[in-house]
Structure 1
């Protein structure tokens, strides 16, 4: 079984006492890679760029299109300054994008809305990663932000290029829903992997329990706690979007958001179920270990009970009290068997007979059948 690692150690980017809206870029942040998808019912125009002003000039040439600007990497403070200047974005939004410890949420502003989600998935090294996804939605524009160059949105890009469904006609609000729905689908993939791992661990508990089971189960429990911390605010965020009066969240988008809301409920139920299973597996393991210890103690007890009378006999005849004093006169009441002929053979025979009788008694009581 491949080992899963848990990698989520958020770093405090801001400083105590910073003014609200302060944008601080972490030192290890990736340099932005920007892709632009301009689309309508007839075509999809894809391009790449570095400066946001150049990208905006490209958008001005595609006036009949809806635009998705996909930013991978947050390591450029100038980029965020350009976004703030050109699109008139509140500094608090930019702070939430660069401070990647945000819980899933949905905020409404004048002329645009802002949403964040947590992307939970396994990377190529089979490490479970927890990264932030942020999106700014305007009339015909969606800007998405991801922490690094890995992405889970290839299916959305394929749908966009093939024109399947409502993705080209639903506007920027629908595109935001499509990205969030893909993130939620990744939750199902993670939970499916956790479920298979739990089944494997449960089988190992019955077959050959060892202490690694306890560590692996505790590891899975941490992952489930993380999933629960993500799925609950994700559900609340989608509920806020359904109840929103913003024209960017159209009634058609709200219909699909209700389906995503149901998916969040399923994820929460699965998370709670798996969390309960981890507790049951841990209890089962401890019970199996306790039963195994009891069986070992039972074997040792039976062996001890068999040898106690034998040890008593050997101890009595090991005292070696002499039957004669220094002058050769008999000493009364001192081991008359000490000089008995064949005494050793008789004693061993009696000890063997006592042991056999005890074994027969234990066998008839069924003690050996339960070992």
Structure 2
């Protein structure tokens, strides 16, 4: 995916102006100039190149009508190319509109025994701890698979390398198998993303236990929102695979449905992983609140011990700090109920010793109660 940071949101579809007719095509803001890649193969034959113009791409396809072609167009920055695609390939303008408004949920549409498939490619940002998702639109034909995407970089290089080296059976299979292989590679990348999210959640769990803070809570809530977004992608992927498996044999032959069934199993596993991670993140919120509460209780215990020690000392100091005179300064009369200790020669050290003994007695009492065991 492109190195620039893309802030994606469902509100991006609002770039289209209200009131436009259905099938209205436009160039999205910040769209890349289109690049044209073509892979042509059949058994031992293989050719790959990046073409400079759309006309050269069509010419190359026409020169090898018996081969399977993977047409990969990256970038939506040329409206004339988008218009031309709807004419040269059986692409409805409404479908091309879904391609350009590239925050569509994963889905599949069948028309004239051909498929229009939308899936979402994922990548985990270790720097920002966020998911970057890019739409991949795919059209199948009798001898081609057409993919369109907004970015120059994607997750499909492992499949391209397999085709280049001749590993696997992609070259010997029909174009519908290539469509499956593309979908399968995209789904395979979901699992490393989930592994990265799982490792990050474990880091957050350790942080919550060791040094919980408001920043930690914000990080936990942020990763929970990313998991919600991922779940909104995974569930339509499962529905898409279910719909493909229900299609007639003349659209998806039975010998290919076994592969799509495997991809369906991957989506089920992915949803289970997402649900497990969501439960872990939800428990992290509870753990954070419990840890903060426990720390607050420890602080209150310390303050209680300190208060318990100083309250009787404050009482004694306050009692003997009252400024009542023992005798009348005018008549010299000694008051019976005044404090006789004020004029004892050892009253001060005795009182200090009494305070120390009182503190030691309290500390011994607190220790016997077990208040110091968790410090």
What is the TM-score with the length of structure 1 in the denominator?
Answer: 0.94
Q: Which piece of structure 1 moves more, 138-147 or 198-207? A: 198-207
Check if 1:341 corresponds to 2:345. yes
Structure 2 partner of 1:282: 285
Match of 2:250 among 229, 247, 251: 247
Instruction: Give structure 1 stretches of 5+ with no counterpart.
Output: none
Task: State the Cα distance separating 1:123 from its structure 2 match.
Answer: 6.0
CA contact (8 A) 1:67 1:140 kept: yes
Q: Deviations over 1:156-202 (max 9, x none)?
A: 11111122222112211111111111111111011000111112222
1:108, 1:246 within 8 Å by CA — same for their partners in 2?
no
Asked whether the equivalents of residues 13 and 24 of structure 1 are also in contact (C-alpha less than 8 Å), the reply is no
Tell whether the 8 Å contact from 1:173 to 1:250 is kept in structure 2 after alignment.
no
Aligned residue number for residue 68 of structure 1: 70
CA-CA distance at 1:37 after TM superposition: 0.7
Matched with 2:100 is 98
Alignment of 1:246-265 (within 5 A): 247-265=250-268
The farther-off stretch of 223-232 and 204-213 is 204-213
CA distance in 2, matches of 1:291, 1:6: 40
Provide the TM-score with structure 2 as the length reference. Answer: 0.93
Q: How many residues align?
A: 367
Partner of 1:311: 314
Give how far 1:133 is off. Answer: 0.5
* Distance in 2 (alpha carbons) for counterparts of 1:186 and 1:163: 22
Structure 1 residues 180 and 202, CA gap change in structure 2 (3 angstroms): same
Quick one: structure 1 residues 275 and 167, their matched pair in 2 at CA, closer, same or farther if it must change by over 3 Å? same
Paired residue secondary structure (2:189): helix
Q: Which residue of 2 aligns with 1:112?
A: 114
Distance 1:266 1:117 in 2: 17
Q: Deviations over 1:33-90 (max 9, x none)?
A: 1101111011111122243333222111102201110011111111111111122321
Alignment match, 2:8: 8
Q: Secondary structure at the match of 1:34?
A: strand
Equivalent residues of 2:245, 2:257 under 8 A apart: yes
Inter-partner Cα distance in structure 2 for 1:340 and 1:134: 98
Distance of 2:51 and 2:99 partners within structure 1: 20
From 356, 362, 366, give the equivalent of 1:362.
366
Unaligned runs of 5+ in 2: none
User: Which residue in the other structure is 1:137 paired with?
Assistant: 140
Residue 18 of structure 1 corresponds to 20
Q: 1:189 to 1:121 in 2, by over 3 A?
A: same
SS in 1 for 2:15: coil
Following TM superposition, by how much is the alpha carbon of 1:208 offset from its aligned partner in structure 2, in angstroms? 3.3
- Name the counterpart of 1:327: 331
Which secondary structure state, in structure 2, belongs to the residue aligned with residue 139 of structure 1?
coil
Residue-by-residue CA offset, 1:2-41 (whole Å, 9 max, x unaligned): xxx9942352231112211111211200111110111101
**Using the alignment, how far apart are the partners of 2:127 and 2:320 within structure 1?**
70
Contact 2:66 2:143 in 1 (8 A): no
